[in-house]
Structure 1
Amino acid sequence: MIQRLENKNPEVAALIRQVFQASYAVEAELLGALDFPPLRRPLSDFIEIGNVFFGFFEHGELAGVIEIIPDTAVTHIQSLVVHPANFRKGIGSALLTYVLKRCNSPVFTVETGAENGPATTLYRKFDFREILQYDTDHGVRKVRFEKRRASE
């Protein structure tokens, strides 16, 4: 079940952060990153940010989260994380499908580490196209993907 998460609520924000921390620890390892800024994201950021969060619940537990910056022109997927206990269950695909159907913008963007095979495979499966690669100041090569809706 997917629902919007009230991240302004500190208890909900703490649950969101727990899933982020668990998922990003795995991603940092995948990328070989010794310094991975998403792991330093404080709880206050989840509470204060204006982004929109949707959560996937599995047996009453928060199993995955997608964070978006919605806009009429472009919806940016800021983060898509799944708790490692729930990897390979289709949760990332379900969250991505939900956002693609819910948001009406003609363009969607997302970034991930270039060496994050599971994420790049997921975005390509949904017809996202690579538009840019760049190196971060913390030593991670990133890739930006974009998906444009077909013209009606």
Structure 2
Amino acid sequence: MIKKLQNKEITIADNIRSVFQDSYAVEAKLLNAKDFPPLKRSLESYSKSKNYFFGYLKNHELAGVIEINNESDFTHIQSLVVAPNFFRQGIARQLMEFVLHTYNSKPFMVETGAANAPAIALYLKFGFKEVKQWNTESGIRKVRLNRIIR
């Protein structure tokens, strides 16, 4: 079940942060990142964020979260994470389908580590195309993908 998460509530923000931390620890290893800025994100940044958070609940447990910034002329998928215990169960796909069907946006944008093959494969399946690559200050190669439906 997917539902909007009330990230202003500190206990919910803490649950969101836990899923992000667990998922990003795996991604940091995948990217061979010594310094991975998403792992430094504070609880307050979740609870005070103006972004929308949608969670996938499985057996009453928060299994995945998608964070989006929806503006009038675009939707930016800020983050898409799945708790490691729930990898390879289609949760990321279902969260993507939910957002793409909920928001009528042109374009959708997302960024990830260039070495994050599972994430890139998922975005490509949904019609995203790579538009840019660059190196971050922390030494991580990133990629931006856009999805434009005409």
**Which structure 1 residue ranges, 5 or more long, are not aligned?**
none
The answer as to 2:55 corresponding to 1:55 is yes
**Which whole-Å CA distance do the structure 2 matches of 1:118 and 1:15 have between them?**
24
- The runs of at least 4 aligned residues of structure 1 exceeding 2 Å deviation read none
**Which whole-Å CA distance do the structure 1 matches of 2:122 and 2:115 have between them?**
13
Deviation, structure 1 residue 11? 0.2
**Which whole-Å CA distance do the structure 2 matches of 1:73 and 1:61 have between them?**
33
> Which residue matches 2:85?
85
The answer as to 2:72 corresponding to 1:72 is yes
Q: Percent same amino acid at aligned positions?
A: 53
The answer as to 2:135 corresponding to 1:145 is no
**Which structure 2 residue ranges, 5 or more long, are not aligned?**
none
> Which residue matches 1:14?
14
Deviation, structure 1 residue 72? 1.8
TM-score by length of 1: 0.98
Please say if residues 72 and 104 of structure 1, whose CA atoms lie closer than 8 Å, have aligned partners that are also in contact. no
Deviation, structure 1 residue 71? 1.1
> Which residue matches 1:26?
26
**Which whole-Å CA distance do the structure 2 matches of 1:49 and 1:144 have between them?**
22
Deviation, structure 1 residue 49? 1.0
Please say if residues 129 and 147 of structure 1, whose CA atoms lie closer than 8 Å, have aligned partners that are also in contact. yes
**Which whole-Å CA distance do the structure 1 matches of 2:131 and 2:48 have between them?**
30
**Which whole-Å CA distance do the structure 1 matches of 2:68 and 2:106 have between them?**
15
* Alignment root-mean-square deviation, CA: 0.5
Please say if residues 10 and 47 of structure 1, whose CA atoms lie closer than 8 Å, have aligned partners that are also in contact. yes
Deviation, structure 1 residue 105? 1.3
Deviation, structure 1 residue 68? 0.2
**Which whole-Å CA distance do the structure 2 matches of 1:39 and 1:84 have between them?**
15
Matched AA of 1:84: P
**Which whole-Å CA distance do the structure 1 matches of 2:20 and 2:104 have between them?**
26
**Which whole-Å CA distance do the structure 2 matches of 1:127 and 1:148 have between them?**
8
Please say if residues 136 and 142 of structure 1, whose CA atoms lie closer than 8 Å, have aligned partners that are also in contact. yes
Please say if residues 132 and 145 of structure 1, whose CA atoms lie closer than 8 Å, have aligned partners that are also in contact. yes
